[in-house]
Chains A and B, each alone.
Chain A
Amino acid sequence: MMLNIAPADLQSVWLTLKLASVVTLLLLLIATPLAWWLAHSRRWYKGIIASLVALPLVLPPTVLGFYLLLLMGPHGVVGELTHALNLGRLPFTFAGLVIGSVLFSMPFAVQPIQNAFESIGKRPLEVAATLRASLLDQFFSVALPLARPGFLTAMILAFAHTVGEFGVVLMLGGNIDGETRVLSVAIYSHVEAMEYDAAHVLAGGMVLFSFVVLLGLYLLGGKEGKR
């Protein structure tokens, strides 16, 4: 296998890993309370929130990307807000990609964690409560450790899904070297320009990476299941 990767392509690899890491971290922070609420709430609007979270599973990424482009643009609500806060505009920036990716990968993080919380049930928490564990203590000492497999799945899926995403970053990114040209966009450009050699190196690497991630996921899942 040829391994002469152009510096610009290496830059894309690095940028993609950075994006996926930031997105995974943010998603853990956002998805955990959201999943907890979805697992335990009995509010009538729970279904609405659950549907909104799952929406990116169904929507073509370009649709999401296009609406984000409009929303974050100078005539959009978010765009006006970021401008008023002196944050500039989000399209064509790394921050913009992070926001787009967080929304796009949200269901992949929320749903495994929610399932894990739901499968724990109420019993262990009630037991902890009778032992005078505070609510926070119940969450951190009982629920979190028991939901570990769910968190692992969520992290791996969120990371891998962000690495593999294309439509949203294409619509929002503007293909800027070192800022928004992630791996999938770089591959697309190479293929479009019929630079198949360069595309093969990146695309082959991506296939390998994705396979290893999924294999790891299944092996882990098997181990956790046997416990």
Chain B
Amino acid sequence: MKLSQSRVLLGALLCGMMANTVYAGEVNAAVAANFTAPVQQIVAQFQKETGHTVKLSFGSSGKFTAQIKEGAPFDVLLAADEKNPQLLEKEGLAVEGSRFVYALGKLVLWSAQSGYVDDKGHVLRKGGYNKLAYADPKLAPYGLAAKETLEELGLWNAVQGKLVTGESITQTYQFAATGNAELAFIALSQITQNGKVTEGSWWIVPAHLYNPIKQSAVQLSAAKDKAAAQAFLTFLKGEKAKTIIRSFGYDLP
């Protein structure tokens, strides 16, 4: 009696597991470092609602693009720019027409010290600081935006002796968070939680000073028929994801 009961149980369990393998898929997502915190919240929601699982890798869009060209096993790319997804699309490595802008990045001038940055960014002109950190403009869209901003303000030449370069905005943030650079151009999302900036002092750089940072997502060709990957991108466009994205200080297209 007991034996048969446990057999039934085992049978049910196996069925359940099989059902799971039929309906629940796994998505390997390559995600730009600046989107780390929001994507984790989005994925938690997505997994709860669909039963799919998402494995996240964080890094720079350029590095991911190079890796995807060499056959890296990613299903979707959430880049920090528009250029890299376009490139993949052009080379047939991304599903044509799957590209869309999931967030518009906002650049911020930040200091770990409270009261250091005024809300007009005059601190840049006043000088008095030793180091200004920004991300390598060749590698990071936020670094390029920082360079454009400094050029637009006519300060590019004046700050040359004070610039230090991070290889990503994560490292740029680190330079400022440890106090080694008094000022840093980073992503607003890095210091925002639940719609609020929680630490230090900052100036949200007006959008007209730099070209829009169109953070774009794309489905990769290797995952063309993967329903879970498609479902994740659809979820990313949905209202629930948008609410999360906004709460981290991004704009939406």
Q: Does A176 contact B (CB under 8 A)?
A: yes
| Chain B hits for A74, CB < 8 A | 179-180
Report Cα–Cα, A114/B130, bound state, in Å. Answer: 42
Smallest CB gap from B140: residue in A: A192
Q: Does A163 contact B (CB under 8 A)?
A: no
Report Cα–Cα, A94/B180, bound state, in Å. Answer: 15
Would A170 and B167 be within 8 Å (CB), given that A73-B179, A73-B180, A75-B179 are in contact? yes
A174 lies within 8 A of B165 (CB):
yes
| Chain A hits for B139, CB < 8 A | 189, 192-193
Q: Does B136 contact A (CB under 8 A)?
A: yes
B133 lies within 8 A of A75 (CB):
no
Cross-chain contact of A92 among B63, B171, B180 (Cβ < 8 A): B180
Cross-chain contact of A70 among B133, B166, B171, B178 (Cβ < 8 A): B178
Would A175 and B167 be within 8 Å (CB), given that A193-B138, A194-B62 are in contact? yes
Q: Does A69 contact B (CB under 8 A)?
A: yes
B136 lies within 8 A of A175 (CB):
yes
Q: Does A112 contact B (CB under 8 A)?
A: no
| Chain A hits for B180, CB < 8 A | 69, 72-74, 89, 91-92
B162-211 contacts to A, CB under 8 A, are 163-167, 171, 174-175, 178-181
| Closest CB in chain B relative to A115 CB, distance in Å | 37
| Chain A hits for B63, CB < 8 A | 192
Q: Does A140 contact B (CB under 8 A)?
A: no
For chain B, give the interface size range: 20 to 34
Smallest CB gap from A69: residue in B: B178
Q: Does A188 contact B (CB under 8 A)?
A: yes
| Closest CB in chain B relative to A213 CB, distance in Å | 27
Report Cα–Cα, A164/B131, bound state, in Å. Answer: 27
A88-119 contacts to B, CB under 8 A, are 89, 91-92
B164 lies within 8 A of A174 (CB):
yes
Report Cα–Cα, A188/B171, bound state, in Å. Answer: 14
Report Cα–Cα, A170/B136, bound state, in Å. Answer: 13
| Chain B hits for A92, CB < 8 A | 131, 164, 180-181
Would A189 and B130 be within 8 Å (CB), given that A73-B178, A174-B175, A176-B164 are in contact? no
Interface residues of B (CB under 8 A from A): 60, 62-63, 65-66, 130-131, 133, 136, 138-139, 163-167, 171, 174-175, 178-181
List, sorted by A's number, 7 A–B pairs whose CB atoms are closer than 8 Å.
A92-B164, A174-B131, A174-B175, A189-B136, A192-B136, A193-B136, A193-B138
Interface residues of A (CB under 8 A from B): 66, 69-70, 72-75, 89, 91-92, 170-171, 174-176, 188-189, 191-194
4 nearest CB pairs, A to B: A174-B164, A175-B165, A193-B138, A74-B179
